[in-house]
Structure 1
């Protein structure tokens, strides 16, 4: 039995497309194809199909201009980031944001500079500017 796909999250390919849409503000299939092809060559029909699916999932809107559809983001990047982090926290860290942060801090690739930046963000959130 096949598991029902979670339509609240983008697939890897859709996220690549959405990143371009967020960066450019949107465009026609041809516009977005030109940007996406800077990363990896794709066929026009493949891009058109993925964009249509993303619109059906509610991540994009489209509007006809002349003879082309112009796709725009329906979901702001910050909103999607929030949803994705909540999902990650729920599924991998038992709804415990502190566990997610602890795992991130334990990562060897996190530099001292990044940790200082994280501390500043936490202090700001807590209303405490002390280091």
Structure 2
């Protein structure tokens, strides 16, 4: 699989498509379009154009089966998320992961359960370091 650091950043619409492809492993333009059509009424040609661009940028690969192209991700979701968060930390929070976490805490983006899970993860990480 490719590394997300070597690929252009994804737009919001491209992330939505990539998440669908990651969920399914392999899918056609029609598969993605059906889901997006239910969510927000997007044109099939728009989905096709976005998926072709994702292929051209290296995020997707495609193979032809019975006249239709089936697309698969070339980068894992986990690596893509980690790379994107790292870019966000570097550009928006001036390299401060603490700034990101504080923003999430103060912005109310985290539930009580998520905060508790983060506490446990931090405690576990500290134990491994000692």
Normalising by structure 1, report the TM-score: 0.83
Structure 1 position 109, deviation (Å): 4.4
1:15 equivalent in structure 2 = 15
Q: Given the superposition, is the C-alpha separation of residues 71 and 16 from structure 1 closer, same or farther in structure 2, using an over 3 Å criterion?
A: same
**Structure 1: 5+ residue runs without aligned partners?**
1-6
1:100-119 → structure 2 map (5 Å cutoff): 100-119=100-119
Q: Which runs of 5+ in 2 are unaligned?
A: 1-6
CA RMSD of aligned residues (A): 1.7
Q: By percentage of residues, which structure has more helix?
A: 2
| 1:66-101: CA deviation from partner (whole Å, max 9, x where unpaired) | 211100111111011101101100011111112212
TM-score w.r.t. length of structure 2: 0.84
The change in CA–CA distance for 1:34 and 1:109 in structure 2 (over 3 A counts) is closer
1:28 aligns with 2:56: no
Q: 1 or 2 for the larger relative contact order (CA 8 Å, sep ≥6)?
A: 2
Task: Count residues in correspondence.
Answer: 122
